[in-house]
């Protein structure tokens, strides 16, 4: 399962980078629940395919440029953990942003059913009750997913 889930996580990030809602939905279960890294600062939790489309649409609106670079992906059974770096430019401010964060995705029957982005990698590790020292990456370091 780990190889397949890591591949699917990579496809999801590639769809994100391509700003392609159809490719994003193709990897998501109809019951997907998305918790954006921006949820902690007033964003929403997004439900279902329509919610996932709205999430991507809001990101496209907020950022004139963006892409994520995967630093490492880890197999945690029915979930994957990835350390990524978001590179972006705000649509209104024009400010450039480089933000490391973590993604946790839960998988069922080849589809993502739950996605949560963590502004602090330590928070993801704490929620997952794992130590970074015990993790072994299953994808190469510094892979741009577009």
pLDDT for res 39: 53
pLDDT for res 14: 94
Find out whether 33 and 114 touch, Cβ atoms under 8 Å: yes
* H-assigned helices in 19-47: 21-26
Domains of the chain in start order, with CATH, are: 2-144 (3.10.450.50)
pLDDT for res 2: 53
pLDDT category of residue 139 using cuts at 50, 70 and 90: low
CB atoms within 10 A of CB 141: 11
Burial class (CB in 10 A: 0-12, 13-18, 19+), 49: middle
0.85 cut: is pTM over it? Answer: yes
Q: What is the three-class DSSP state of 3?
A: helix
The arithmetic mean of pLDDT across residues 56-85, rounded, is 92
Cα–Cα dist 139/127, whole Å:
22
Q: What is the pLDDT of residues 75-108, one digit of tens each?
A: 898 899 999 999 999 999 999 999 999 999 999 9
């Amino acid at each position: 399962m780990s190889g397949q889930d890591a591949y699917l996580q990579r496809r999801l990030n590639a769809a994100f980078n391509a700003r392609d809602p159809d490719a994003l939905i193709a990897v998501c279960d109809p019951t997907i629940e998305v918790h954006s890294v921006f949820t902690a600062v007033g964003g929403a939790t997004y439900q279902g395919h329509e919610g996932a489309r709205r999430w991507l649409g809001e990101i496209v609106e907020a950022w004139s440029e963006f892409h994520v670079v995967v630093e490492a992906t880890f197999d945690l059974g029915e979930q994957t953990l990835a350390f990524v770096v978001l590179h972006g430019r705000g649509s209104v401010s024009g400010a450039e942003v480089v933000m490391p964060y973590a993604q946790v995705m839960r998988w069922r029957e080849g589809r993502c059913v739950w996605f949560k982005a963590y502004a602090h990698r330590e928070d993801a590790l704490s929620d997952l009750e794992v130590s970074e020292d015990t993790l072994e990456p299953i994808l190469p370091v510094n892979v741009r997913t577009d």
